[in-house]
């Protein structure tokens, strides 16, 4: 094993924590997913006749996923932070947003 120089220690950037926007984006993705499951359960319970309630929840999910995606994209600008939750939140929100968009385009 090679010994590390004092110079190497000075040049390292300390990764202090996870990005704040990434954590928020991940929580928004989790909330949007829970609402999506609630929407599907509501449709099943009402035998497809849920009406306006499903539409309102779907629009809420659409808006949440879009907001989470934008917050996730902005969190890439935070320097010297871990990006784990940024990746998870941004990708999850994009998948949920595209999924709801596809449902709208198929059934409307």
pLDDT digits (tens, 9 = 90+) for 23-53: 999 999 999 999 999 988 888 898 878 888 8
- The enclosing H or E element of 66 equals helix 52-74
pLDDT at res. 72: 92
Confidence of residue 61 (pLDDT cuts 50, 70, 90): very high
Is the pTM for the entire model greater than 0.85?
Answer: no
Query: Residues with Cβ < 8 Å from 50, sequence gap 6 or more?
Result: 42, 43
Whether the CA torsion 49, 47, 100, 28 is positive or negative: it is positive
Encoding tokens for residue 43?
Answer: 């449709």
């Amino acid at each position: 094993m090679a010994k590390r120089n004092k110079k190497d220690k000075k040049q390292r950037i300390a990764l202090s924590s996870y990005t704040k926007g990434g954590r928020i984006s991940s929580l928004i993705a989790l909330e949007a997913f829970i609402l999506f499951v609630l929407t599907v359960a509501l449709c099943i319970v009402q035998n497809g006749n849920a009406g306006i309630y499903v539409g309102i929840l779907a629009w809420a999910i659409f808006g949440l996923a879009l907001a989470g995606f934008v917050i996730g994209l902005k969190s890439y600008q935070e320097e010297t932070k871990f990006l784990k939750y940024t990746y998870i939140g941004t990708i999850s929100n994009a998948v949920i947003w595209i999924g709801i968009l596809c449902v709208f385009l198929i059934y409307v």
